[in-house]
Amino acid sequence: MIISLVIHGAPGTTQGAQTALTFCRAALAAGHRIYRVFFYEDGVHNANALSVWPQDEQDLNAAWASLVREHELDAVVCVASALKRGVLNADEASRYEKPAASVEPAFDISGLGQWVDACLNSDRVVSFGV
Amino acid sequence: MSTLHIVNKSPFRSDALQRCLALVAPGDSILLIEDGVLAASLSTLADSVSGRSVTCYALIDDLAARGVSAADTCIRSVDATGFVNLIVEHRNSLSHG
Amino acid sequence: MKTLTFLARSAPYGSSKAKALLDMVLSAAVFEQKIQYIFLDDGVYQLLAGQDPSSLAAKNVSAALPALELYGVDQVFLDLASLQARGLSTDQLLIPVTTCNAADISKMLAASDMVFSL
């Protein structure tokens, strides 16, 4: 089955992003196809490559980046949510004259159209961290 | 034609479970995750769905993390694979905020 | 075409949820999907006429409501019990909506491909 995820929660604040990660791994292990993981609102913080976690905690940002790379997942952060929260790629950092790019390069920054596209092309869409 | 209702809030801090119970239809299921599993040890949830053809589940990792048991209720424990299976088995899912 | 159902359950301004769900609805409308937009619980406050968040430096979420029909979002519902529980009546609302009850919402959920609630 083709499944997409929408993640609303920031890592380390609420449990939703962790629940989504575990769900995503289980779905892949069961042979399902993950069409897209869409990060919305505070969920975009999961794609921040500049976060540094304490050594005795699981680095959720790194865990997402590693899952996305390993399975070549289509991971998209909502551009409107991301810019507001300082999750920028190099192009946007330059365009808005900000000192650094912060998005994990394995993630794409795009619009809500990508979420609609996920709805149209998936059998199921599951929301986490609402 | 059924919905998987996902509840992630404590029944003592939020009315998400109550709102879920108001919308749940015969053939639907309820999955308690995160702080939602705090409802798993209560008889009130079981009483609410009794006779309504609604099955209740709770995510086992969230129960274990909180030291909460669903053993005395009709709530079934599922792991992450069970969660995925529930998503597959239901036509849609509703994450109650 | 898919049937997407949106449950607006949060009051405006205290959080970004009302705006976030509205943005999802408008995006889905651009793709010409069948949309059911249902206001219930505290979400009924989103429909109240006379909202003025100018002193909060917040956008008026209700400003987009009259344009919903232009976007093709013509199935807008209101849970009457939620409205009444808050001491409100339909004549206080900014746009005309179809009233419904919990049983109607359950039926709409059953006929949905995907459901989003904020």
Going residue by residue through chain C, which has 118 residues, state the pLDDT in tens, using 9 for 90 and above: 999 999 999 999 999 999 999 999 999 999 989 999 999 999 999 999 999 999 998 899 999 999 999 999 999 999 999 999 999 999 999 999 999 999 999 999 999 999 999 9
pLDDT at B1: 58
Q: Give the three-class secondary structure for C68.
A: coil
Edge to edge, what strands does the sheet with C34-39 contain? Answer: C98-100, C76-79, C34-39, C3-8, C114-117
Percent of chain B at pLDDT exceeding 90: 79
Chain C closest-CA separation from residue B19 CA (Å) = 8
Q: Let me know: does A68 contact A108? Beta carbons within 8 Å.
A: no
Q: Is the pLDDT of residue A81 over 90?
A: yes
Residue B9 corresponds to which tokens in the numbers above? Answer: 């809030």
Report yes or no: C113 at the A interface, CB cutoff 8 Å: yes
Tell me, what CATH number does C24's domain have?
3.40.1260.10
How many residue contacts between B and C have a Cβ separation below 8 Å? Answer: 39
Cα–chain-centroid distance for residue C44?
A: 7
Please state the domain extents for chain B. Answer: 3-96
Among the ranges given (A99-108, B71-80, C36-45), the one the predictor scored with the smallest mean pLDDT = B71-80
Count of the separate structural domains present in chain C:
1
Domain ranges of chain A: 2-128
- The closest CB to that of C110, out of B25, B95, B97, belongs to B25
A119 catalytic residue (yes or no): no
Question: Is residue B90 scored above 90 in pLDDT?
Answer: yes
Please give the model's pTM, rounded to 2 decimal places: 0.97
Query: What pLDDT does C117 receive?
Result: 98
User: What's residue B73's pLDDT?
Assistant: 78
| CATH number, span B3-96 | 3.40.1260.10
Which chain C residues are closer than 8 Å to A119 by Cβ? 2, 4, 28, 33, 113-114
Evaluate if residue A72 carries a pLDDT over 80: yes
Residue B70 — pLDDT band, cuts 50, 70, 90?
confident
- Which chain C residue lies closest to B91 (C-alpha atoms)? C113
CA distance A39 to A88: 14
- If pLDDT is split at 50, 70 and 90, which confidence band does A92 have? very high
Q: Among residues 26-85 of chain B, which lie with CB inside 8 Å of chain C? A: none
Cβ of residue C117 closer than 8 Å to a chain A Cβ: yes
* Rounded-to-integer distance, Cα A91 and Cα B36, Å: 41
Chain C partners of B24 at a C-beta cutoff of 8 Å?
106
Give the Cα separation of C111 and C108 in Å (integer).
5
Architecture of domain A2-128: 3-Layer(aba) Sandwich (3.40)
Q: Under an 8 A CB cutoff, do A116 and C117 touch?
A: no
Tokens of residue A98, six digits: 């900000």
Question: For residue C30, what are the domain limits?
Answer: 3-117
Work out the percent of chain B whose per-residue pLDDT is above 70.
99
- Within 8 A of C10 by CB-CB distance, chain B residues are 97
Evaluate whether A109 touches A77 at the Cβ level (below 8 Å): yes
Q: Which of A78, A87, A118, A125 is catalytic?
A: A78
pLDDT recorded at residue B97: 80
**Cβ contact (<8 Å) for C109 and B95?**
no
Neighbors of chain B with 3 or more C-beta pairs under 8 Å = A, C
